[in-house]
Structure 1
Amino acid sequence: MSDQLRRLLRHLALDLGPLRASRDFRLLMASGVITMFGTFITMVAVPYQMKQLTGSYLAVGLVSLAEFVPMVICGLWGGAIADALDRRKVILLSELGLLVTSSLLMVNALLPHPQAWVLYVVGAISTGIACLQRPSMEALIPQVVRHDQLGAAAVLTSLRWNFGAIVAPAVGGLLVTAFGAATAYAIDAVSFVLSLVLLWRIASAPAAEDAEPASLRSMVEGVRYAVRRSDLVGTYLVDIAAMVFAMSTALFPFLADELGAPGALGLLYSASSVGSLIASLTGGWTSRVHHHGLGVILAAAIWGVAVALAAAIPNVWAVFACLALAGAADMISGIFRSTMWNQTIPNELRGRLAGIELLSYASGPMLGNARAGLMAQLGGARFSLGLGGALCVGAVAGLGLLLPRFRRYDARTDEHALAEKARRAQASLENTASASASE
């Protein structure tokens, strides 16, 4: 093997440093793998059961609508409590709440006549609890991973998500159709029990003594901090623009028909996740990138170009390749955004900003699919897909020009990144001194 090939493989290889260095990060990752499988299985089971109970397209579609408001409210509130309370306790209590909601869905499915309203109510409650938990989970990672390893941690976390996103829905589909919804919900409940055992072993992560209590005022303070930093605003706006203009999964059933391959619908839906998984597996190089803002802009533009190309290609496998490329670009963008957030946001604000991040990357796909449907109504699926991709590229380029600080961001010289690095180094020295004194 040539030296050049060896160097290339080293650059592409995963950096497992965070897993080796941090016991708490290992526990978080193991817990995430377990609960992700259960959660994705339930995501398949709920619409399947609703279809069985009602036979209504509208009833199935309203499941997502019922979850939107809890996502918005609890995402912001979850950020506030993540900065005000012990993040480990928030995570544990939320995990317990998710165990209860899965159990309720299982009980309802076992009834002689399961109730459709339970799926709406419990689904909304489950989404709310998950969004309360997510900011604390996100904010805990910078506390358990070294500052210089946060990029590698972002790659590993994305790998876990993509692996689950590809495998778990397929497993969920088989379980639901073969054994019924109750079995799927039971497996989800068991996954939360196992996860609780792991999360219980994580060290306590109390808030600072002078932490501001969770309130509307503290949430507004988090929003003001984000708005004052144009580099953070860039991460939100570029991602939202990319999703709004180029997210088009709602068109896939129509696109599959136009390609003359209705049986390839599942292939189209999995393409993005396949690309994302490949990007994660070969994403070791991302931890060596310092211009994260420019990286986000380029990745979002590639996402738009790939979607536009998919609209112009008549071959289903070529379309699959384009959508996989789009998924890979989206994952690279996500890794760079996550690294920027974790390396520059002060610990006392990390939870509230994680709540804002949740809204930015969760609302974009919902709005994007609505946009895709409206454009398709005017000119068809390919028109919507192609124009959406072109608009994405234009919007991302425009934002790059309007936000020079975001475009020129460099982790080696950015004042916020340097300040957070220094703060964490000081905290590490103080902890070491305290441990030595106690001995």
Structure 2
Amino acid sequence: MSLQEQLRKHVIDVRPLRHVAYRRLFVGNAVSFFGVQFTAVAVPVQVYDITRSALWVGVASFVGLVPLIVFSIWGGAIADAFDRRKVLLTSSTLMWLTTLALLAQAVLHVGNPYLMLALIAAQSAAFSVNSPVRQAIIPALIGEGEVAAANTLSFTASSVSSIFGPVGAGLVIASAEFSVAYAIDAVLFTIVLWAALRLPPLPPAGVAKATGGLGDIRDGLRFLAGSKLILLTFAIDIAAMVLAMPKALFPVVADQRYGPASLGWLYASIAIGSTLAGLTSGWIGRVHRQGVALVLAVVGWGLAVAAAGAVPWLWACVAFMAVAGAADMISGVYRQTVLLSAPDEMRGRLQGVFFAVVAGGPRLGDLRAGSVADATSATFSWVSGGIAAAVVAVLLGLTFPVLLRYTDRSD
């Protein structure tokens, strides 16, 4: 076998980039997501700077949960009923406006944590509509057989942004005001607005009866309730994120253990691993026992997180969190594979629920981590959460064998 053939088997598949519309949206999303990382780091650090409380950092993440759940499920129904280009453009514009509001409060030195909570909730609502729509339009922009490759490309690009974005944000916050971080996000986000404007009309296919109302949401939830395997993938992800996500502890640990310069590296650590896993993801699709691989990946996530919280050296903490990020990326691919087996007319709604789980779990995890840290210590909260996630993943696999029996259906 030639070297070129070997590379094709192991490196990331870039075929979807041949499609102009997808390539334009891919670039817009990648650039804007890099900017979003500046706000993602600045918000919790600013909240901690104002309140000096890990619990407040957790609360700041948690307040976005209710609008996230409501609007992601509704956004999925909208994606199945209306022109997805218009929905994407509207929700992206609302996200941009909330970033401008965060910039304004930082420039004016308002210093009000309650105002920040309100802006976080508003941005969460807009993002919760935006994300399922963005995922639902991908099959219309590329070939049907390239959807998995496109998802991997998008995930890897976001992971790359999650490395360099937080590192850049950490440097900016350490040397300038929070307003600079928000300004960078606001400027870069205009690229995704341009990309959405250049998309062709994207009416949903095969869902003429959909209206985006409560009935469509109910139909989607009814379909989900009958799919035990999809529900189990949601359950194992919730366990992993609620019990083991340590991001709310990063400002505290940087302040008390590693120093301010460590902040960017801590926020980038998970993405370092997921990026490396994505760039070498050719083997993932050749795993036959994907249910077993999913459970093992979540166990690996939990144990790596626990190890990262226990070590006293920054380099070791970042390395273990990178291992955790690689495991999370692998589990994400298999969870998305299960979800893509749903009918096209349900895909927007299921993507909405999927996003509520994927984005809501870490927010609950932030609240858990922050509250436990305030009651005990950051180290105990970090390590115990990782161990608990690994244990729950094993128990779910043993209790529900259908999860372990799931295999690759492409044979």
Same fold (TM over 0.5): yes
What is the distance in 1 between the residues matched to 2:167 and 2:303?
29
What is the distance in 1 between the residues matched to 2:46 and 2:317?
31
What is the one-letter code of the residue matched to 1:133? N
Task: Give the Å deviation of 1:306.
Answer: 2.1
Q: Which residue of 2 is the match for residue 158 of structure 1? A: 155
Q: 1:298 aligns with which of 289, 296, 299?
A: 296
Task: Give the Å deviation of 1:374.
Answer: 5.8
Superposed, 1:61-100 pairs within 5 Å as 62-100=59-97
Higher alpha-carbon deviation: 80-89 or 112-121: 112-121
Counterpart contact for 1:275–1:325, Cα < 8 Å: yes
Q: Which residue of 2 is the match for residue 42 of structure 1? A: 39
What is the one-letter code of the residue matched to 1:332? I
| SS of structure 2 residue aligned to 1:84 | coil
Q: TM-score, normalised on structure 1? A: 0.81
Q: 1:325 aligns with which of 323, 326, 330?
A: 323
What is the distance in 2 between the residues matched to 1:105 and 1:143?
34
What is the distance in 2 between the residues matched to 1:175 and 1:263?
11
Q: Which residue of 1 is the match for residue 402 of structure 2? A: 405
Where structure 2 has 5 or more consecutive residues not aligned to the other structure, the ranges are none
What is the distance in 2 between the residues matched to 1:340 and 1:329?
17
What is the distance in 2 between the residues matched to 1:194 and 1:254?
33
| SS of structure 2 residue aligned to 1:28 | helix
What is the distance in 2 between the residues matched to 1:112 and 1:286?
48
CA RMSD of aligned residues (A): 3.2
Counterpart contact for 1:70–1:128, Cα < 8 Å: yes
Counterpart contact for 1:105–1:118, Cα < 8 Å: no
**1:193 matched to 2:193:** no
Change (3 A) 1:71 1:404: same
Change (3 A) 1:8 1:305: farther
What is the one-letter code of the residue matched to 1:91? L
**1:23 matched to 2:25:** no
Q: Which residue of 1 is the match for residue 280 of structure 2? A: 282
Superposed, 1:138-217 pairs within 5 Å as 138-176=135-173, 178=175, 180-207=177-204, 208=206, 210-217=208-215
Change (3 A) 1:289 1:27: farther
Counterpart contact for 2:62–2:364, Cα < 8 Å: no
Task: Give the Å deviation of 1:277.
Answer: 1.5
Q: Which residue of 1 is the match for residue 385 of structure 2? A: 388
Task: Give the Å deviation of 1:247.
Answer: 2.4
Percent same amino acid at aligned positions? 37
Change (3 A) 1:329 1:112: closer
Deviations, residues 18-75 of structure 1 (Å, cap 9, x unaligned)? 112x2222122111012212222223344455566x4554766543343222212211
**1:219 matched to 2:232:** no
Counterpart contact for 1:252–1:265, Cα < 8 Å: no
Counterpart contact for 1:151–1:287, Cα < 8 Å: no
What is the distance in 2 between the residues matched to 1:244 and 1:101?
26
Indicate the structure whose relative CO is greater, using CA pairs within 8 Å and at least 6 residues apart: 2
Where structure 1 has 5 or more consecutive residues not aligned to the other structure, the ranges are 415-439
Q: TM-score, normalised on structure 2? A: 0.86
Q: Which residue of 1 is the match for residue 334 of structure 2? A: 336
What is the distance in 2 between the residues matched to 1:56 and 1:253?
10
Counterpart contact for 1:292–1:337, Cα < 8 Å: no
Change (3 A) 1:176 1:288: same
Deviations, residues 161-210 of structure 1 (Å, cap 9, x unaligned)? 11111111232344455554444434333333332222222222213452
What is the one-letter code of the residue matched to 1:135? P
Higher alpha-carbon deviation: 405-414 or 324-333: 405-414
Change (3 A) 1:388 1:212: same
Task: Give the Å deviation of 1:132.
Answer: 1.1
Change (3 A) 1:10 1:354: same
Q: Which residue of 2 is the match for residue 365 of structure 1? A: 362
Q: 1:353 aligns with which of 345, 350, 353?
A: 350
